[in-house]
């Protein structure tokens, strides 16, 4: 589903050819998938450290839940002996019991599945043995995972300040299911590169960007939300996304952002200097009353 869902099969084939120059370039979906799988497998075998995010972290036990479509997080954690998990502080919930409702909401809201393909709950450092990829016969022969290392990096980066901001704090409820993007007409047209920032994409990205990166970067795409409200019933945690976008727009308009960020809009709205005389085509088409009269008279012909 991400991050390459906007790419065509042909586009992926081209990219693989350009980057890896394979002897026998893969073309079909199956060949491309197998090529990616083998290439990633080689990289994973060589890796010393595995990095993941975390969808939720239980405060009482340190257990974390990871939701993926391809099993990549689980592979990352088990195949390497050092696991570094990086997550925003808003991902912390009291205990593993609170994982249950969210795991249902993410799959159903994001992709329409009852549950997503891979749900991993782990309490690091996990004690499964680190595989020895050189040993084809018994890769897990070395026994325990005693020498595994684990580091959790919790990111604030503006989130705790957002929690104190009465108008932006709802943004922190977001579970990143992407239902708002799926229901947004503008997002479907322009995609996440245009409608999104560093933190997230789609309608909810404005709130994230305003709280974490600042109003200047939120101003770059805030206007892509027209306030149509289609995303409101789609959001499983009932965030009023258009309202957050209105709040951010209001702050930008009050001059709280760098004014240079909106100069482009005024330049687009002000017409270029008019030429001294209009050309014949413009005069005819622009004079629509006469054009309509002549059109009616000559229509039977
Ligand atoms: S704002 Fe709501 S719908 Fe959008 S990604 Fe977050 S939880 Fe999902």
CA dihedral 253→257→259→262, nearest 10 degrees, is -70
Residue 159's contacts (CB-CB under 8 Å, 6 or more residues apart) are 88, 89, 90, 172, 211, 212
ipTM of the complex: 0.89
Alpha carbon of 182 to ligand 1 centroid (Å): 10
What residues contact 135, with CB distance under 8 A and at least 6 apart?
141
Computed over every residue of the chain, the mean pLDDT equals 86
How do residues 45-82 score in pLDDT, each as one tens digit? 899 999 999 999 999 999 999 998 888 888 889 899 89
Is the beta carbon of 172 within 6 A of some atom in ligand 1?
no
What residue ranges do the domains of the chain occupy?
1-46, 53-154, 162-269
51 CA → ligand 1 middle, Å? 24
Q: How confident is the model over 259-276, as pLDDT tens digits?
A: 455 555 555 555 555 444
DSSP for 144-170?
--TT-EEEEEEE-TTHHHHHT-TTTGG
What's the CATH number of domain 162-269, 1.10.8, 1.10.10, 1.10.1060, 1.10.3470? 1.10.1060
Q: Is 54 in contact with 85 (CB distance < 8 Å)?
A: yes
């Amino acid at each position: 589903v991400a991050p390459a869902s906007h790419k065509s099969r042909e586009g992926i084939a081209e990219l693989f050819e350009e980057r890896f120059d394979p002897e026998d370039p893969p073309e079909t979906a199956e060949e491309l998938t197998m090529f990616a799988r083998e290439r990633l497998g080689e990289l994973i075998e060589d890796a010393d450290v595995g990095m993941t995010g975390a969808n939720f972290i239980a405060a009482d036990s340190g257990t974390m839940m990871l939701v993926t479509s391809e099993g990549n997080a689980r592979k990352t954690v088990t195949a390497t002996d050092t696991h570094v998990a990086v997550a925003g502080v808003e991902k912390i919930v009291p205990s593993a019991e609170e994982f249950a409702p969210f795991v249902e909401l993410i799959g159903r809201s994001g992709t329409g599945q009852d549950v997503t393909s891979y749900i991993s709950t782990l309490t690091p450092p996990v004690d499964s043995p680190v595989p020895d990829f050189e040993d084809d016969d018994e890769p897990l022969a070395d026994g325990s995972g005693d020498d595994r290392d684990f580091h959790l990096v919790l990111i604030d980066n503006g989130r705790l300040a957002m929690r104190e901001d009465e108008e932006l704090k709802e943004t922190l409820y977001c579970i990143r299911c992407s239902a708002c993007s799926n229901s947004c007409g503008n997002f479907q047209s322009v995609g996440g590169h245009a409608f999104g920032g560093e933190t997230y994409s789609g309608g909810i990205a404005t709130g994230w960007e305003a709280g974490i990166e600042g109003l200047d970067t939120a101003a770059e795409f805030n206007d892509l939300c027209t306030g149509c409200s289609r995303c409101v019933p789609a959001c499983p945690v009932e965030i009023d996304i258009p309202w957050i976008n209105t709040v951010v727009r209001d702050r930008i308009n009050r001059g709280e952002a760098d004014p240079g960020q909106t100069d482009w809009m005024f330049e687009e709205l002000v017409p270029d200097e008019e030429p001294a005389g209009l050309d014949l085509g413009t005069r005819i088409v622009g004079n629509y009353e006469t054009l309509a009269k002549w059109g009616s008279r000559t229509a039977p012909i």
